[in-house]
Amino acid sequence: MATDYLLPDLGEDIEEAEVIAVHVHAGDRVERDQAVIEVETEKANLDVPAPYAGAITAVHVSVGDTIRPGQAIVAIEAEEGVKPSSPAVSMTPPAASAPPAIEPDAAPPAPPAAAPAPPPAAAARPPGAATPVLPSDGGLVPASPSVRMFAREIGVALGEVAGTGPGGRVSIDDVKAHARLMRSAAAPAEAPEAPRRGAAPAPSALPDLSQFGEVERERMSGVRRTTARTLSQSWAQSPHVMLQRKADVTELEAIRRANRERVAAAGGQLTMMPILLKVVAGALREFPRLNASIDVASEEIVYRRYVHVGVATDTDHGLIVPVVRNADEKSITQLSIEIGELVGRARDRKSTLEDLRGGTFTISNLGGMGIGFFNAVLLPPQVGILAVGRAEQEPVWTGSEFEPRLRMPLAINFDHRLIDGADGARALAWICETLEQPQPYMLEEFPESETGAED
């Protein structure tokens, strides 16, 4: 008998995805883990694999459909001896960050004031239910896709819910009971919660533009929707401060040109980006607050012990920021190779979620487009971003004469809630001075050499 296969939890709090390819038809035979559809999420494109081998008896989705975890996508008749299942596991590793905070205003209404709140133990599980069991190994919380979707919709973090099912499996009743507990635990005299500080204002309705002439509508892609939401949140929540300075990269450019072929032979491309990334990674170690984040709910600063630097990348389908992990531990040659691979996958729409997760700081380089200084927007929960412009020859007074020098405009944007102006100035000065005196970074890897051939 055929069984509907439900879209699994896609991870990273992804609530919906758009079908961009259907790889099977009714009557096709599939192997376990064979891709049945491809979806575009707000973070990356993903193949959805078959959970077991069998025959496709029906396809429930089409290209262009928007689907959610827990929704049927195909019907599969399992081969003889294969037990059908529709696992509710995440397709991606669980995020390292803490679960999202519960929003009290999204929970069900509190019981009437006349009814006393039940004791936590009684409310946490229905009568006769087994003792709740929570996962002890830090793994995924066992729950069906429909339960996960319901918990997301009412703002409950599954990791905080006591499951009463076999092996600690969480049911919808468990989620509702937990939401009621959280609501009843609030002080009765507490005033209604005001809108969250820093929350982006609700978008206003667009006027009817067709009254002025012909219009055409196009649905925003998942990448564009994510960009709009994330940057609106950043601009509303983080007080941005920008500092600017030019770095003299004359000597650095000479070393770069002299070693391009060496790096090309290793499979990389020695542009300014891997050099900038190496220097910025050093700055994040020198100024750890630039590598940190703010936990507003607990009023704590979270210092990361790792350095993962994002590279803002222009693609045909929008802005993508692939992340170079542990950038401070890699050579410039290694960074140049990895940047090329990450950017290539981003532009080919082949980025994985792992390519895009965990960034601690971002570099945005518009120098190749002829841009000088510009203002970049932070990517929350990061508190810093470096904007890099086009380096140009400028006359510089040496004390006795003007000398042509190659100078690169740099601007650092930071979250003033965590980074003071003087701290930001010191960090930018450190980056500029390191670029101007590159030997400690460059000569660890490249021998001192004469200026290479002109570009």
Query: Taking 60 as the threshold, does the pLDDT of residue 316 lie above it?
Result: yes
Q: What is the pLDDT of residues 59-98, one digit of tens each?
A: 999 988 888 888 999 999 887 766 665 443 334 443 333 3
**Highest-pLDDT range among 13-17, 96-100, 140-144, 435-439:** 435-439
Torsional sign, CA 183, 184, 190, 191: positive
Q: What pLDDT shows up at residue 407?
A: 97
Query: Taking 90 as the threshold, does the pLDDT of residue 309 lie above it?
Result: yes
- Percentage of residues in the chain having pLDDT higher than 90: 43
- Record the tokens describing residue 333, joined without a space: 């040659």
Question: Quick check: is 317 catalytic?
Answer: no
Q: What is the pLDDT of residues 172-211, one digit of tens each?
A: 788 888 887 877 665 454 444 455 444 556 666 788 888 8
Q: End-to-end CA distance of the chain: give it in Å, rounded.
A: 66
- Record the tokens describing residue 248, joined without a space: 């003299």
Pairing of strands 361-365, 309-311: parallel
Binned at pLDDT 50, 70 and 90, residue 278 comes out as very high
Query: Taking 50 as the threshold, does the pLDDT of residue 453 lie above it?
Result: no
Q: How many other CB atoms sit within 10 Å of the CB of residue 131?
A: 10
DSSP letter string, 176-189: HHHHHHHHHTS-TT
Query: Taking 80 as the threshold, does the pLDDT of residue 410 lie above it?
Result: yes
Binned at pLDDT 50, 70 and 90, residue 37 comes out as very high
Q: What pLDDT shows up at residue 405?
A: 96
Give the residue with greater pLDDT, 421 vs 448.
421
- Record the tokens describing residue 373, joined without a space: 């200084």
Give the residue with greater pLDDT, 343 vs 220.
343
Query: Taking 90 as the threshold, does the pLDDT of residue 146 lie above it?
Result: no
Q: What pLDDT shows up at residue 395?
A: 95
Q: What pLDDT shows up at residue 203?
A: 66
Query: In sequence order, which residues have a C-beta less than 8 Å from that of residue 128 and are 6 or more positions away?
Result: none
User: Which residue(s) pair with 21 in the sheet?
Assistant: 38
Q: What pLDDT shows up at residue 82?
A: 66
Determine the average pLDDT of the residues in 346-375: 92
Query: In sequence order, which residues have a C-beta less than 8 Å from that of residue 59 and are 6 or more positions away?
Result: 22, 24, 25, 26, 73, 74, 75
Query: Taking 90 as the threshold, does the pLDDT of residue 40 lie above it?
Result: no
Query: Taking 80 as the threshold, does the pLDDT of residue 217 lie above it?
Result: yes
Among candidate residues 10, 6, 148, the one with its CA nearest the CA of residue 86: 6
Query: Taking 50 as the threshold, does the pLDDT of residue 322 lie above it?
Result: yes
Q: What pLDDT shows up at residue 273?
A: 96
Query: Taking 60 as the threshold, does the pLDDT of residue 45 lie above it?
Result: yes
pTM of the model: 0.63
Binned at pLDDT 50, 70 and 90, residue 218 comes out as confident
Give the residue with greater pLDDT, 16 vs 131.
16
Please, are residues 217 and 179 in contact by the beta-carbon 8 Å criterion?
A: no
Residue 77 half-sphere exposure toward CB, CA atoms < 13 A: 11
Determine the average pLDDT of the residues in 28-42: 86
Distance CA 20, CA 39 (A): 5
Q: What pLDDT shows up at residue 241?
A: 93
3-state SS, residue 341 = helix
Q: What is the mean pLDDT of the chain?
A: 80
Q: What pLDDT shows up at residue 388?
A: 97
Residue 206 half-sphere exposure toward CB, CA atoms < 13 A: 5
Q: Report the b/e string of 181-198 with b at 16+ CB within 10 A.
A: bbbbeeeeeeeeeeeeee
